[in-house]
Amino acid sequence: MSAQKIVHLIIALHFWYSCYYDWYYVKIPTEIHNMGDSFLKSGKLKFLTYWDALLQSVFFTLCFLDDIVSGTSESLPKKTPLVRKIKDIMLPSLAFPLSMFVGLTFWGLYALDRELIFPKVLDDYFPNWLNHVMHTNIMIFTLLELVTSYRTYPSRKVGLTLLLSFMASYLVWIHVLNAYTNHWVYPILDVLNFPARIVFFISNIVIVVVLYVMGEKINSLRWGSRKLKIKNK
């Protein structure tokens, strides 16, 4: 097994295990913090962090499968396999901008006032290693994937449509949760009034779009002059 396959497999497994551990073993009593509340058995699916961790798990699994089906990232069979097509649109449109958004906003708010995003009382229930998998490793591994594997970016229309549709779905979901539980998923939303929440949501959308464009630019700088070699079989 090549080094690339091994790395992708390890990354995928470590994300899958983290999702599994978080779902089954991280239990926050509602009397400790209302982040433990759940509606429709949503569990950890109320958090964008968990959505993103699942996304990274699927993405790096696709990377591993693509290594098996397509070979190296610098060569392809005459007909591009479906798994390569999905992987190559998934990183630009979702995996990269979302991982950067989750990681940067989490640590940014954490540095500003951790009680707004991850109250100290949760430390007894949410292990530090899991926190770094969910909020640090996601950025490191997707950035490494972007600069070590060639891909052609989709058009901005396609990429941003997928990304903004994903973000809109999550925003609708947390408002549904708020309507039924009378609690916001993240503590910061409790301290913002309605106009401030609107500004907050719009700012987050702007940030995620900027991160998409940043990924596009990094990809162009790294691979712009690269010609994909087609493997003759």
- List pLDDT tens digits, range 19-66: 999 999 998 888 887 776 666 667 889 999 999 999 999 999 999 999
Q: Up-side HSE of residue 51: CA atoms within 13 Å toward CB? A: 16
CB 49 within 8 A of CB 135: yes
**Angstrom distance (rounded) from CA 93 to CA 163:** 5
Q: What is the pLDDT of residue 42?
A: 74
| Residue corresponding to tokens 């070699």 | 229
Please compute the mean of the pLDDT values over residues 66-94 and round it to a whole number: 81
* Long-range pairs of 177-184 with CB within 8 A, sequence gap ≥ 24: 177/39, 177/42, 177/46, 180/39, 180/40, 181/34, 181/37, 181/39, 183/34, 183/37
Q: What is the pLDDT of residue 145?
A: 96
**Angstrom distance (rounded) from CA 36 to CA 185:** 9
DSSP letter at 39?
S
Q: Give the pLDDT confidence of 103-113 residue by residue, as tens digits.
A: 999 999 999 99
Nearest residue to 71 (alpha-carbon basis) of 10, 16, 149: 149
Query: Which has the higher per-residue pLDDT, 43 or 97?
Result: 97
Q: Where are the domains of the chain?
A: 3-230
Query: Which has the higher per-residue pLDDT, 13 or 181?
Result: 13
Structure confidence at residue 220 as a pLDDT band (50, 70, 90): very high
Q: Give the pLDDT confidence of 128-173 residue by residue, as tens digits.
A: 999 999 999 999 999 999 999 888 889 999 999 999 999 999 999 9
Question: By percentage, how much of the chain surpasses pLDDT 70?
Answer: 90
CB 65 within 8 A of CB 83: yes
Q: What is the pLDDT of residue 81?
A: 87
Helix (H, G, I), strand (E, B) or coil at 75: strand
Q: What is the pLDDT of residue 189?
A: 92
Look over the chain and give the mean of its residue pLDDT values, rounded to a whole number: 89
Residue 73 has pLDDT above 60, yes or no: no
Please compute the mean of the pLDDT values over residues 53-81 and round it to a whole number: 83
Q: What is the pLDDT of residue 29?
A: 87
**Angstrom distance (rounded) from CA 95 to CA 138:** 9
